[in-house]
Amino acid sequence: MSPADPVEQELVSEIPNPLLKWIRSHLIELTLRKIPKTDRVLDLCCGYGFYFMINPHAQGIEGDPRAVRTLCSQGFKVKQGNVLDLLPYEDNSFDYVIAHDVLEHFTEGELRKLLPEVHRILAPQGRFIAFVPNRKGYELGLRRGVGHKLFVTINEINSLIPKLFTIRRHYPEPLPRPVGRFFAHNKEVFDLAKISGAR
C-alpha cells in the first residue's frame, strides 16, 4: 500500500491474532501452500507477513515502516516502499509475485501503473497470483472503511492485463462459489502468467 495513505497505514499496522494467523496460513490458504518455498517469491504489500509462515524464504515489500521493522527484526527479507513507484528489484527477479487482499485497495489507474512493474520483475514464465475479496467481502470492507476502491472481477482483470499477462486459472477459495459467496472471507483467485517480451 502507499505509505502516504494514513487509513491504509493504520489498518496494515494491526497485527493479527496469532491463532487466526496460523489457521489462515496452514488450513485455508491452499493456493499459497502450493507455491515453491524459495526466495524467488515476492509478497506485494506483505503487511505483517502471514505468508512468511508458509514460505519463510520469500521476500516482501510493504509501505508501513513498523511492519517492515518487525519483519526485518525476525530475519525476513522485506523492503519498505510504495508499490506505485518503481519496484526496487531488477528485471526478472522473481518466479512468483503474490498479492493477497491488495488489488482492491487501488484504483484502476493505479493498477495500470503497478501491473507493468509486476510484469517487469517477473522472470519469463513467471506468475502473478492475486487474491481479491468476493462481493460480500468487498462490501464488508466498504462498511468498515478499510480503503477498498475497486471491486475486482474477471472483467477488471481482463481490461488491465492485455499484453502483460494471460489468465491461467480463475477460481474461488477456499469454498466453491455457490457456497462461498455467502462468506465475506472467501476469495477470488487470479493465477496470471507473464507474457514474455511484452512491455
Q: For residue 8, what pLDDT is reported?
A: 38
Tell me what pLDDT residue 7 has.
Answer: 36
Please, are residues 124 and 70 in contact by the beta-carbon 8 Å criterion?
A: no
Name the residue ranges covered by the structural domains of the chain.
Answer: 6-194
Rounded CA gap, 117 and 102, in Å?
A: 15
Angle at 120 between CA 74 and CA 151, to 5 degrees: 80
| The pLDDT of residue 199 | 56
- DSSP 3-state of 62: strand
Task: For residues 45 and 47, give the distance between their C-alpha atoms in angstroms, rounded to a whole number.
Answer: 6
- Please answer whether residues 164 and 158 qualify as being in contact, where contact means their C-beta atoms are separated by less than 8 angstroms: no
Give the Cα separation of 68 and 82 in Å (integer): 12
Q: Tell which residue, 75, 87, 80, has the closest CA to residue 39.
A: 75
CB 106 within 8 A of CB 114: yes
Hey, what's the cell of 163? 499484453
Q: Across-strand partners of 189?
A: 131, 171
Measure CA 51 to chain center: 10
Among 20, 19, 21, CA closest to 46: 21
Residue type, 24: R
pLDDT tens string, the chain, 199 residues long: the values are 444 443 333 334 445 577 766 666 666 688 999 999 999 999 999 999 989 989 999 999 999 999 999 999 999 999 999 999 999 999 999 999 999 999 999 999 999 999 999 999 999 999 999 999 999 999 999 999 999 999 999 999 999 999 999 999 999 999 999 999 999 989 999 999 999 876 5
Look at residue 6 in the predicted model and tell me its pLDDT: 36
The topology under which CATH files domain 6-194 is Rossmann fold (3.40.50)
